[in-house]
């Protein structure tokens, strides 16, 4: 087999990394990297976008160390039985590429994952060597996100977290039953105990850093995970409940949802087509509601047919339409909790409403200056000079407010 050049490896291994959503790449037109070149392209050569702990959007080189893998997870293009071109970077090649791209200002950091070769410990050791060399040999101050191998030794996992800003372990599927079915070599217990151990040590290190800034950082941007949506028959209710448990038990910063994409020569166990991308989008919106808007999963999913989120309207609007009796809400009097439940109001607008109304009574125009659009919002609020007309029932109001299909495509 002819030796691949570094550039050829980069094409193979950045393309192979595209299925991992745990480094968000929102806002790009295409999900694939090969062919996505050109001035201003955000998709060429594995550049993805993620968010730093301070909220900045940063570009990362997103690659696999290798797409050789001894496991045979049926949903994965890199599984051992898959007929794809294989490549493997050396540790030195990844270090050199990262430094080279960083110095040219193409990237602000690295997202590195890998197929499993030889053993979990061997693979984890190679990933750690990349991060260690970047930090210790080259004093690299950029962002590093390392994907961890849950069955690797705790010593290696801890070492990875010493050099990385963020680490992640994929739970892969919404239930352990599906994991056993689709990824029989992955052990749910290993995943749980690796995530649990990380949580403890991340919390301890954060407390230590509070006491002394000289204490070593230990994955200061926390841990995250990814779940594939639409490969099994899990409902949105099951997925969101699993996420709520993961956030609660392991203090995750993010659960990423990745809509299953059919792969070449896929197993008959898998669906033939992908779920609508809007499903992934609605799950992110619902996830956001549970983390920042005070919603419980049960509330978001109550009366949702078949345990699935409505694709036509966002989950907050869907909830408000099912609870017409709780609206309209007086923005000059309501508690923060209730303001957060009004469709069209984000956390920042709610805080500004609370600050402004201490000094004067708000009119519709005042609220309009805080939001992008009053079209939906005005149906759910009362201000000093506005009250919506005769209340429509939820279904008729939904027909009026739901985005048209062409608008949905832009969301
Ligand atoms: S372990 Fe499974 S999911 Fe990960 S690269 Fe190998 S086959 Fe793919």
For the stretch 153-201, pLDDT in tens is 999 999 999 999 999 999 999 999 999 999 999 999 999 999 999 999 9
Distance 253 CA to ligand 1 centre (A): 23
C-alpha to C-alpha distance for 377 and 326, rounded to whole angstroms: 14
pLDDT of amino acid 395: 78
Residue having the nearest C-alpha atom to atom 2 of ligand 1: 73
Distances (CA, A) of 396 to 54, 301, 331, 393: 42, 20, 24, 6
The minimum-distance atom of ligand 1 relative to the CA of 77 is: 8
Mean pLDDT of the chain: 89
pLDDT of amino acid 268: 77
pLDDT of amino acid 20: 76
Q: Is 173 in the pocket of ligand 1 (CB under 6 A)?
A: no
Transcribe 159-201 into DSSP letters: HHHHH-SEEE---BSSSHHHHHHH-TTS-HHHHHHHHHHHHHH
**Measured in whole angstroms, how far is the alpha carbon of residue 134 from the centre of its chain?**
25
Among the listed residues 297, 300, 299, the one whose alpha carbon sits nearest the alpha carbon of residue 240: 297
Question: pTM of the predicted model, to two decimals?
Answer: 0.87
Q: Is 73 in the pocket of ligand 1 (CB under 6 A)?
A: yes
pLDDT of amino acid 23: 62
Is residue 261 scored above 90 in pLDDT?
Answer: no
C-alpha to C-alpha distance for 159 and 153, rounded to whole angstroms: 10
CATH number of 6-275: 3.20.20.70
Q: How confident is the model at residue 39 (pLDDT cuts 50, 70, 90)?
A: very low
Residue from 63, 66, 70, 71 to probe ligand 1 pocket by mutation (most atoms less than 8 Å from CB)? 71
For the stretch 346-391, pLDDT in tens is 999 999 999 999 999 999 999 999 999 999 999 999 999 999 987 6
Burial class (CB in 10 A: 0-12, 13-18, 19+), 220: middle
**Average pLDDT of span 119-146:** 97
317 versus 49: which is more confidently predicted?
A: 317
> Which H or E element spans position 62?
strand 57-64
Please state the length of the chain.
411
Q: Is 91 in the pocket of ligand 1 (CB under 6 A)?
A: no
Q: Is 147 in the pocket of ligand 1 (CB under 6 A)?
A: no
The minimum-distance atom of ligand 1 relative to the CA of 79 is: 7
Residue from 13, 64, 67, 76 to probe ligand 1 pocket by mutation (most atoms less than 8 Å from CB)? 76
Which string of b and e fits 50-77 if b means at least 16 CB within 10 Å?
A: bbeeeeeebbbbbbbbbbbbeebbbbbb
The minimum-distance atom of ligand 1 relative to the CA of 67 is: 5
Q: Is 116 in the pocket of ligand 1 (CB under 6 A)?
A: yes
**Average pLDDT of span 273-279:** 87
C-alpha to C-alpha distance for 18 and 67, rounded to whole angstroms: 12
Is residue 57 scored above 50 in pLDDT?
Answer: yes
Q: How confident is the model at residue 31 (pLDDT cuts 50, 70, 90)?
A: very low
Q: Is 68 in the pocket of ligand 1 (CB under 6 A)?
A: no
Is residue 30 scored above 50 in pLDDT?
Answer: no
Q: Is 78 in the pocket of ligand 1 (CB under 6 A)?
A: yes
- Give me the percent of the chain exceeding a pLDDT of 70: 90
Query: What backbone phi and psi angles, to 5 degrees, belong to 11?
Result: -65, -45
The minimum-distance atom of ligand 1 relative to the CA of 115 is: 5
Q: Report the SS3 class of residue 202.
A: helix
Residue having the nearest C-alpha atom to atom 1 of ligand 1: 71
Tokens 């609870």 appear where? 323
Distance 22 CA to ligand 1 centre (A): 14
pLDDT of amino acid 55: 66
Residue pair 257/229 in contact (Cβ under 8 Å)? The answer is yes
Domain chopping of the chain, boundaries: 6-275, 312-408
Q: Is 71 in the pocket of ligand 1 (CB under 6 A)?
A: yes
Distance 296 CA to ligand 1 centre (A): 33
Distance 78 CA to ligand 1 centre (A): 6
For the stretch 194-232, pLDDT in tens is 999 999 999 999 999 999 988 999 999 999 999 999 999
For the stretch 64-73, pLDDT in tens is 999 999 999 9
pLDDT of amino acid 28: 38
Residue from 63, 66, 115, 228 to probe ligand 1 pocket by mutation (most atoms less than 8 Å from CB)? 115
């Amino acid at each position: 087999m002819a030796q691949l050049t570094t550039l050829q490896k980069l094409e193979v291994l950045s393309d192979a990394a595209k299925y991992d959503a745990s480094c968000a790449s929102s806002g790009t037109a295409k999900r694939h990297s090969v062919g996505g070149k050109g001035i201003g392209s955000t998709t060429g050569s594995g550049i993805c976008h993620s968010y730093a702990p301070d909220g900045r959007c940063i570009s990362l080189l997103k690659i696999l160390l290798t797409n050789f893998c001894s496991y045979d997870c049926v949903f994965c293009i890199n599984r051992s039985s898959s007929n794809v071109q294989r490549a493997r970077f050396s540790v030195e090649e990844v270090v050199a590429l990262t430094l080279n791209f960083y110095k040219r200002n193409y990237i602000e950091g690295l997202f590195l994952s890998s197929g499993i070769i030889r053993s979990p410990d061997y693979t984890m050791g190679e990933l750690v060597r990349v991060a260690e060399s970047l930090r210790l040999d080259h004093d690299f101050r950029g962002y590093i996100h390392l994907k961890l191998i849950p069955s690797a030794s705790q010593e290696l996992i801890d070492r990875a977290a010493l050099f990385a800003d963020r680490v992640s372990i994929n739970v892969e599927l919404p239930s352990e039953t599906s994991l056993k079915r689709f990824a029989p070599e992955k052990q749910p217990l290993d995943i749980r105990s690796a995530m649990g151990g990380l949580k403890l040590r991340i919390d301890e290190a954060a407390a230590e850093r509070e006491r002394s800034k000289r204490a070593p950082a230990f994955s200061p941007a926390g841990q995250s995970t990814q779940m594939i949506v639409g490969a099994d028959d899990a409902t949105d209710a099951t997925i969101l409940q699993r996420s709520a448990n993961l956030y609660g038990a392991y203090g995750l910063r993010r659960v990423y949802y990745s809509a299953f994409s059919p792969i070449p020569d896929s197993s008959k166990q898998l669906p033939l087509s992908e779920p609508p991308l809007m499903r992934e989008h609605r799950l992110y919106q619902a996830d956001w509601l549970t983390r920042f808007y005070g919603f419980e999963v049960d509330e978001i999913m109550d009366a949702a047919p078949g345990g699935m989120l409505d694709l036509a309207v966002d989950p907050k609007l869907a909830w408000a339409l099912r609870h017409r009796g709780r609206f309209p809400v007086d923005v000059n009097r309501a508690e923060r909790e209730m303001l957060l439940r009004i469709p069209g109001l984000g956390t920042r607008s709610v805080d500004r409403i609370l600050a402004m109304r201490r000094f004067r009574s708000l009119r519709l125009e005042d609220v309009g200056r805080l939001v992008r659009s009053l079209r939906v919002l005005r149906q759910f609020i009362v201000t000093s000079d506005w009250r919506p007309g005769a209340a429509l029932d939820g279904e008729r109001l939904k027909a009026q407010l739901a985005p048209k299909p062409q608008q949905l495509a832009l969301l």
